[in-house]
Amino acid sequence: MTGIVVVSSDDATDPTGAMELVGGARRLADAAHGSVIAVIPRLRPHERGAQLIAHGADVVINVEHPWLAEYESDCMLPVLEQICERHLPRLVLMEADSHGHDLAARLAFRRGGSFVNNSTGVGIIQEEINVIKPIHGGRATVTLVPRNFPIVVSVRRTSFQPGVPDGTRTGEVQTFEPRFDHDPRKVRLVERASDDSRNRVNLETARVVVSGGRGMKGPEHFARLEALARLLHGAVGASRAATDAGWVSAAQQVGQTGRTVRPDLYLAFGISGAVQHVVGMSSSKVIAAVNTDPEAPIFRVADLGVVGDCATFLPALISEIERIQASEPLSPPKTPSVTK
């Protein structure tokens, strides 16, 4: 089995998503006695090829074309079609982000294959590729066995483990120059707006996640969550209610339609615990929740629950952590420091 991992939207400063996909593909390829091809369809640092090989890729295809410096689906799609025509993969993995969702279905259609979106797992059982995905708002999962190849799957972050890089692995880095009969780009980048997200701890890889919901009662109270996250060297998340209200960026949403996180410690403040949110954080090692409603569903999945007002509890918690750190400063965790 040949499997292709498409590193289309991977941030050069945060390669975690790419390494997760390559690590998962490597385990699948080993089970099927196959190979892993990683595609980098945008200009990337040269050291990325060696990094992908160390994590399990056999071949890294570096697609070089100035039109790929910025993501544009109508330009990326023919590139992936050409690579699939050349290598005939049975499985194509992409990250389940805006770019992956954009490309995966179109690629499957163009190649006459199967498409499964938002998967949380891919395996091989009796030589057949099985794809797991949540249904009914995360209340259940279904295992699909697609029949048409290639099987194109968008995979949620943290569904695969990156694996331990092996610096002794050898592989091949190839350069691919795509053919374009015409300029397919329909969108032009006019202006890039930046925020301070690059200065924050990555939400999906953070060991500690501090999340707020409707019970925070306004954007001004999220400043306290930011303060708590800084003290714990963690990241700030939110429920959909908080992001829909415009209190925080949509990029911080945790849940079925947001990010999937698996931290050592997940702190939920003012989050009711709707199943759409829980599906994105239920795999956390330890879950602690604060809510004024003793019947809130979040307490059903929490290891520790506090019935109280976040406006009162948060300042007291921050003050106590600051007092403890003043006598014994807390360093960023290097190994999991919270266990059940």
Under a CB-based contact definition with an 8 Å cutoff, are residues 212 and 269 in contact? yes
Residues of the chain with pLDDT under 50: 10, 12, 335-340
pLDDT for 330: 59
CATH superfamily of 2-176: HUPs (3.40.50.620)
Q: Are strands 91-95 and 2-6 parallel, antiparallel or unpaired?
A: parallel
Under a CB-based contact definition with an 8 Å cutoff, are residues 314 and 215 in contact? no
pLDDT for 292: 95
Of 136, 132, 134, which Cα lies nearest the Cα of 121?
132
pLDDT for 336: 41
Q: Each residue of 275-312: pLDDT tens digit?
A: 889 988 988 999 999 999 999 999 999 999 999 999 99
CA distance 35 to 25: 9
Question: Considering only the top CATH level, what class is 198-327?
Answer: alpha beta
Using CA atoms of 83, 88, 93, 97 in order, give the dihedral in degrees to the nearest 10: 40
How is residue 157 annotated by DSSP?
T
pLDDT for 302: 95
How is residue 11 annotated by DSSP?
B
Helix (H) / strand (E) element for 307: namely strand 304-307
Using CA atoms of 325, 327, 332, 333 in order, give the dihedral in degrees to the nearest 10: -100
pLDDT for 339: 37
In the chain, where the domains are located: 2-176, 198-327
2-176 and 198-327 agree in CATH topology: yes
CA 93, distance to chain mean position in Å, is: 13
pLDDT for 235: 94
Q: Each residue of 54-81: pLDDT tens digit?
A: 999 999 998 888 887 777 788 889 999 9
